[in-house]
Amino acid sequence: MRMVDSAISRADNREAVAVFDDYGAPILACLQSLGKRGVPIHVYGRGRGAAGRWSRFRTSYRRCPPVDDTDAFLPWLRGKLRSGEIGRVLPTTDLLAYYVSCLREEFSETVRRAIPPLGEIEDCLIKSRFAERCAKVGVKVPATSTARDLGEALRLAEEIGFPMIVKPNSHLGIGMAERGAVIESEKELRASFKPYSFHRLHRLFARAYPDLAGPLIQSYLPAGDRRVYSVSGVKDPANGIVAAALTYKAEQWPPRVGISTQQISCQDQRILQAGVAAVDALISCGIFELEMIEQDGELHVIELNPRGFGFMALDIELGNDLPWLWYQSTFGPVAKAAAPARETPLQCRSALQFHVSRWVGLLKGPGRYRKLVAYAGELSSQTVLMSGRWRDPLPMLIALLSNLRHPRSLIAPYLRRPSGGALVENV
């Protein structure tokens, strides 16, 4: 990609970036992006099994408190910022995006320009606040509310109707393990409704946001079973959105309410521009991924992640090197990059979930021969891996093994869903 970039000369100082190892795809994408450009990368984690520790692109590996231990990690990070050991933190999770915004004033002035204020992060990561913020700026969202108890949930169900989604109001405090569910009836709601419990180490959020224990109740949009669009990119505080691409979620885990395990690029200027306009109204800077569903001809925004995301490797392959653009924005204004121009769709997969879903589909049947032929065709297609690249193999393998620690929970959702987890079978 050709970039006309006023911050490149300042970025040539190659000041270090801290990344925090959680075996996640965003970490591996950042290591590839920044490491190949010679940016010093200090990987922080806990133990020999950390994936980023074994990357050929990391400059050093250092220990830190558990990132999800809020009372230990936040003071530790503040101390490292004040000592100068850490100067830049690439936000790759909700927790890190929150921590960095909490400590925004501890960063240098140029780095601070690429960090959204805490209020923006709260508005993105707390879904009820996100719905309220969208309403204020004229962005359409599904009907959304929160319920403190079953009685309130039943009253909301009468207003919203079934099916509906019941899920955490935020992963802050609750953790990523809770994904929620699509509820089809009052009987199912009565049987499954319960307040969420705060993660035992997320004491900060239990104190600051006690209402997050109440589940979010949201209207379910059936079009979301067919396609969920994503507009992803980087926003510079001076020059606006400098890179953006449109992709869609073809498969997810767990099915219906999960994270993308297969993302495909597409071209639709109407949807792309609508997403860009929404992001522009909602955040001031940083890496982002906005999710939208088109229902009955109208676009509904369902989520905005103000951080690195799982299929970021796809954006990089398309020509939008988001970690690098973000890094440059920590030195000064960044000019707009050339828009990706690709007629043939490009796929990005989480390899483990992809293969497990296909194997489960073959074992369950019916139509095994048809599925086998389709599987063979998919294997021959050009694909980007979410979990890194073979030129840096050890982090990939360690991340893969970490996902195999709980094989039952990996396989069970595919056994329960007839299509094996695909939004549209045989996409």
Express each pLDDT in 359-398 by its tens digit: 888 888 788 889 999 888 888 778 898 887 788 888 888 8
* Inter-residue contact 39 to 14 (CB < 8 Å): yes
Tokens of 343: 């007629």
Look at residue 422 in the predicted model and tell me its pLDDT: 52
pLDDT, mean of residues 117-146: 97
The more confidently predicted of residues 315 and 396 is: 315
Backbone angles phi, psi at 245, to 5 degrees: -140, 155
Look at residue 13 in the predicted model and tell me its pLDDT: 56
Look at residue 416 in the predicted model and tell me its pLDDT: 67
| Every domain of the chain and the residues it spans | 8-122, 143-219, 222-416
pLDDT band at 344 (very low <50, low <70, confident <90, very high): confident
Look at residue 23 in the predicted model and tell me its pLDDT: 67
pLDDT band at 242 (very low <50, low <70, confident <90, very high): very high
- Rounded distance, CA 282 to CA 91, Å? 18
- Rounded distance, CA 281 to CA 233, Å? 14
pLDDT band at 4 (very low <50, low <70, confident <90, very high): very low
Tokens of 153: 């949930």
Domain 143-219 has CATH 3.30.1490.20: yes
Look at residue 69 in the predicted model and tell me its pLDDT: 94
- Rounded distance, CA 39 to CA 273, Å? 32
- Rounded distance, CA 53 to CA 55, Å? 6
pLDDT, mean of residues 307-334: 96
- Rounded distance, CA 313 to CA 36, Å? 14
- Average pLDDT across the chain, whole number: 89
pLDDT, mean of residues 297-307: 96
User: Quick one: angle between helices 351-364 and 368-379, nearest 10?
Assistant: 160
Record: fold of 222-416 = D-amino Acid Aminotransferase; Chain A, domain 1 (3.30.470)
Domain 8-122 has CATH 3.40.640.10: no
